[in-house]
Chain A
């Protein structure tokens, strides 16, 4: 699995954790996205629903997860592009609020997430007396992304090393380990908690604290600061 390395190259670095099990080192990865346009656009709610039913699954992924890696100065108002477009393209606050509360990590696969999205859209279409349109230059553009994952060459042997390593991680590393990891089966949790869980209860308090960190509504730079604070608080300066 990503994060904790599973290849035989790591065997020499294995440590015995307090639970008596072997825990593998944490391999720090980095990542970048390359956007791919589909040319598919929507200008009103009905079009969004129709396009959503047929669009490449990667688009749904990208419009939920990809926003965090886009350059931004302000905290995002909504946690996904669909909600943001409902608010700023269609000026439909009710729809934006409902779409904004969909947590993509709560769905077992992308098709289940697609069904939830279309349900919300259809409910709103049923409620509406008329169809609102976005301006031509504010159409929703369906995009997907290719993710490329890099090996940074940096490895953490023990959890206390996170204290020094986290503040030095790139935005791409934070995205990969704390955000993107949540869409990877079977655990669908961030890589830090996944690694800590291999030490039994030794780091359960830290794991619980990390679970409280909402990766949305912030920039990756601020997210890195927050994670560093949480880890520092639990593990102190020891590394």
Chain B
């Protein structure tokens, strides 16, 4: 076993690695391409940064290609994102035309790689229209939807559905998100990599040093939300929660830590609103971190007493998984993939209002033993269900299933 696989065997168990190897036998020689719209920032890029090298290590020839688009294109796809997650908004025909043109240009640029592939994974709406430019394709094309599609704005979904229907399969994170499509719709939850910079163990000295650079007092309780500055993540609601809790815990500090993804033009506006709301309170730290600040985020999650993910819509919420992996129960919005991870009263609390979040935060600050017990359960829950090895096993199963005609039963020797 290579050192790479050996490291994962140490965390997930040797049986898990053996399973992955068995799944790779019928996939030997296949070429796989993943396409998304950003190399860094956000959960999708993070997943691919780990999934692609892991597949390569297992002997599957895997490439990761990134769609190239301009500001107008990403403005359009951000509108897609908002509309698919339930906002009522119409997208101008000129924007849709530009979306299709950018996909057409990228189809030509990526044609050699996509034509020689055996399986193509296309992530989210941005590159979904690529498929239209490969009418004679021999590869199996799979659309991977990472967002909460439970209540999409119908006209936007109908527009995208015309592209998505042409795929051979699709993947959603939850049954609630799945739409009726004329092909198999797999349900595969995302995952975290326990050995990545963002999740590996850190010593106390490093955690202290990371906190010190932001003037975070390690002697006082710390509330944290890590997420992009996006309205669906409700950063203003988090400040509201902090103010409600601070009435009862005056020494409380709040850190809002986010970055900026290249495919999210709305982030700057939301960040400005958050800064305005935090103005005048020295205990609120609004951080805009670079895309590679993984160890900093790791340290903040380990330093936190209370972790929030107060999203109002959430595809999955990998920051929830990351914090749970570090032994923190999470107080999260009762929505999307957060529901899959937070088993209410076991691994954290599901809440619907800032008041609900504040109530649970006060409870955990008051009951430290319970906080620790829930944190241990949360870590075990992630170990059993949300590590990259499980994610990869399901991806490989899907690939074997597609290659063998999607049989209901696959027996591996």
Binding site for B on A (CB under 8 A): 30, 32, 34-40, 58, 71-73, 137, 141, 143-153, 170
**Contact yes or no, A37 B175, CB < 8 A:** yes
Check B18 against A152 for contact (C-beta < 8 Å). yes
Instruction: Tell me, yes or no, whether B102 is within 8 Å of chain A by CB.
Output: no
Q: Quick check: B175 and A143 within 8 Å, CB to CB?
A: yes
Q: How far is the CA of A40 from the CA of B188 in the complex (A)?
A: 18
B interface majority secondary structure: mixed
What separation, in Å, do the CA atoms of A146 and B172 have in the docked complex? Answer: 15
Inter-chain contact B413/A39, CB cutoff 8 Å:
no
Q: Which are the 4 A-B pairs with shortest beta-carbon distances?
A: A39-B180, A37-B178, A35-B187, A141-B175
* A36 lies within 8 A of B185 (CB): yes
Q: A39-B181, A143-B187 are in contact. Are A151 and B412 (CB under 8 A)?
A: yes
Q: B187 near A37 (CB under 8 angstroms)?
A: yes
Q: Secondary structure at chain A's binding surface: helix, strand, loop or mixed?
A: strand
Q: How far is the CA of A71 from the CA of B384 in the complex (A)?
A: 8
**Nearest A residue (CB) for B186:** A36
Shortest distance between the CB of B309 and any CB in chain A (Å): 19
Neighbouring A residues of B6 by C-beta, 8 Å: none
Interface residues of B in 376-413 (CB under 8 A from A): 377, 381, 384-385, 393-394, 397-398, 400-401, 406-413
Smallest beta-carbon distance A85→chain B, Å: 13
Q: B312 at the A/B interface (Cβ < 8 Å)?
A: no
Residues of B within 8 A of A72 (CB): 343
Given contacts A71-B385, A152-B15, contact A146 B408 (CB under 8 A): yes
> Given that A146-B410, A148-B410, A150-B412 are known contacts, is A30 also in contact with B19, CB under 8 Å in the complex?
yes
The answer to whether A153 and B410 touch (CB under 8 A), given A36-B187, A37-B185, A71-B384, is: no
User: A71-B385, A137-B176, A146-B408 known; 17 other A-B pairs, CB under 8 Å?
Assistant: A32-B397, A34-B394, A35-B175, A35-B187, A37-B172, A37-B178, A39-B179, A39-B180, A40-B180, A58-B408, A71-B381, A71-B384, A73-B343, A147-B410, A148-B397, A149-B410, A149-B411
Alpha-carbon separation in the docked complex, A104 to B124 (Å): 39
- For residue B140, CB closer than 8 A to chain A, the reply is no
B184 & A36 in contact (Cβ 8 Å cutoff): yes
